């Protein structure tokens, strides 16, 4: 039977309709600013988020790192949550590319306490400190389990940023999932941030591509750093066409991924030897704590029955639902867990 791959929502392949859109794309030289498909996509996405401009880039990591370099100067500091992608999964990019350090703040499933954010700000009036230059949030939060940052939390942190005249950046790689789950418009989320990074290859099914959004001035500066970081692409309209198709047709269907994740989580929460915090299963990600054996060992056993799932710690597995997973595969994944756990317990 067909292998069930729940490792990530980045493993998807373009649908036939998306491939067709790519093949028909009109292209130019994007570094020179004349790829019509890229121009159209940047305009369409930036307008949806209420921003003046957008910059199409190869990856979410590059988008975040360009934003950091554009906002900061070497020797400064970024506040983010302890589990943030920019701190854990971007190869030390802030230090290597921008000469800044991360000051991680402990949160609750990715959600920072605004008062604790304010307590951790540092300023250049003390020569011992790297002064805070940027506050970063991630929504939805990957390591939090796909949790949605509440709007009230964002607003309260924005007030602190305004108080100290600090910019804010949103790693919105999966902001689509937050939007679909809450019905809060993308523009409403984006209004609290000077810059927003969005990803077309997580959940939406495009093969490549992210976008950095902000003011026209900010994106003008960011375009130089895209070139410096090696992200300038030429006939990238072929990739932009896939992203445009995903943006137009694959956002609303994310609710299906959320429903399957919720069903899967509820079933696993009842199994001996496993623990799932159902309060954190808010979108398409399910974190599974393994109580009986090492997570890597359980992963190996599940693989024998055709279920691939990602160990993210010695005691935790992560399942991510996406457009290649249907109801039958979801139920079969549950049955595989039941079979393996019955042998273990």
Grade residue 265 by pLDDT with cuts at 50, 70 and 90: very high
| Over residues 322-326, mean pLDDT | 97
Could you tell me what percent of the chain has a pLDDT over 70?
Answer: 99
pLDDT digits (tens, 9 = 90+) for 47-56: 999 999 999 9
Residue 233 has pLDDT above 60, yes or no: yes
Share of residues in the chain with pLDDT > 90 (%): 98
Give residue for tokens 């290859």: 201
Tell me what the mean pLDDT of segment 84-112 comes to: 97
pLDDT (tens digit per residue) in 31-48:
999 999 999 999 999 999
Residue 343 confidence (pLDDT): 79
Band (pLDDT 50/70/90 cuts) for residue 345 is low
Q: Which domains does the chain have, with CATH numbers?
A: 16-249 (3.40.640.10), 253-344 (3.90.1150.10)
Residue 344 has pLDDT above 90, yes or no: no
Tell me, letter by letter, the H, E, C secondary structure of the chain. CCCEECCCCCCCCCCHHHHHHHHCCCCCCCCCCCCHHHHHHHHHHHHHCCCCEEEEECCHHHHHHHHHHHHCCCCCEEEEECCCHHHHCCCCHHHHHHCCEEEEECCECCECCHHHHHHCCCCCCCCCCCCEEEEEEECCECCCCCECCCHHHHHHHHHHHHHCCCCEEEEECCHHHHHHHHCCCHHHHHCCCCEEEEECCCCCCCCCCEEEEECHHHHHHHHHHHHHCCCCCCCCHHHHHHHHHHHHHCCCCHHHHHHHHHHHHHHHHCCCCEECCHHHCCCCEEEEEECCCCHHHHHHHHHHCCEECEEEECCEEEEECCCCCCHHHHHHHHHHHHHHHHHHC
Taking only the tens place, the pLDDT of each residue in 106-159 is 999 999 999 999 999 999 999 999 999 999 999 999 999 999 999 999 999 999
Residue 1 pLDDT level (bands cut at 50, 70, 90):
confident
Burial class (CB in 10 A: 0-12, 13-18, 19+), 249: middle
Rounded to the nearest integer, the mean pLDDT of the chain is 97
Q: Is the pLDDT of residue 103 over 90?
A: yes
């Amino acid at each position: 039977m067909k292998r069930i791959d729940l490792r990530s929502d980045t493993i998807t392949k373009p649908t036939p309709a998306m491939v067709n859109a790519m093949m028909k794309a009109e292209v130019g030289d994007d570094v020179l600013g004349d790829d019509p498909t890229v121009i159209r996509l940047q305009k369409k996405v930036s307008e949806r988020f209420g921003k003046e401009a957008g910059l199409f880039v190869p990856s979410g990591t590059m988008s975040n790192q360009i934003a950091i370099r554009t906002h900061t100067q070497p020797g400064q500091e970024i506040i983010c949550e302890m589990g943030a992608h920019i701190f854990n999964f971007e190869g030390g990019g802030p230090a290597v590319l921008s000469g800044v350090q991360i000051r991680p703040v402990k949160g609750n499933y990715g959600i920072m306490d605004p008062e604790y954010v304010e307590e951790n700000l540092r300023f250049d009036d003390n020569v011992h400190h790297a002064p805070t230059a940027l506050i970063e949030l991630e929504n939805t939060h990957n390591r939090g389990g796909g949790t949605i940052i509440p709007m009230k939390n964002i607003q309260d942190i924005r007030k602190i940023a305004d108080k100290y005249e600090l910019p804010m950046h949103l790693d919105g790689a999966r902001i689509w999932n937050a939007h679909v789950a809450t019905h809060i418009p993308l523009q409403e989320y984006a209004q609290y941030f000077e810059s927003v990074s969005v990803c077309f290859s997580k959940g939406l099914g495009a093969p490549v591509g992210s976008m950095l959004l902000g003011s026209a001035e900010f994106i003008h500066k960011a375009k130089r750093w895209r070139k410096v970081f090696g992200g300038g692409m030429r006939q990238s309209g072929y990739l932009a066409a896939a992203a445009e198709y995903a943006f137009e047709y694959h956002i609303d269907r994310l609710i299906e991924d959320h429903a399957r994740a919720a069903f899967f989580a509820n079933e696993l929460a009842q199994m001996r030897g496993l623990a799932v915090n159902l309060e954190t299963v808010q979108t398409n990600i399910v974190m599974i704590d393994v109580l009986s054996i090492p997570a890597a060992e359980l992963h190996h056993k599940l693989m024998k029955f055709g279920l691939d799932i990602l160990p993210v710690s010695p005691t935790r597995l992560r399942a991510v639902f996406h457009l290649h997973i249907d109801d039958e595969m979801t139920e079969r994944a549950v049955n595989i867990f039941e079979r393996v756990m019955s042998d273990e317990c």
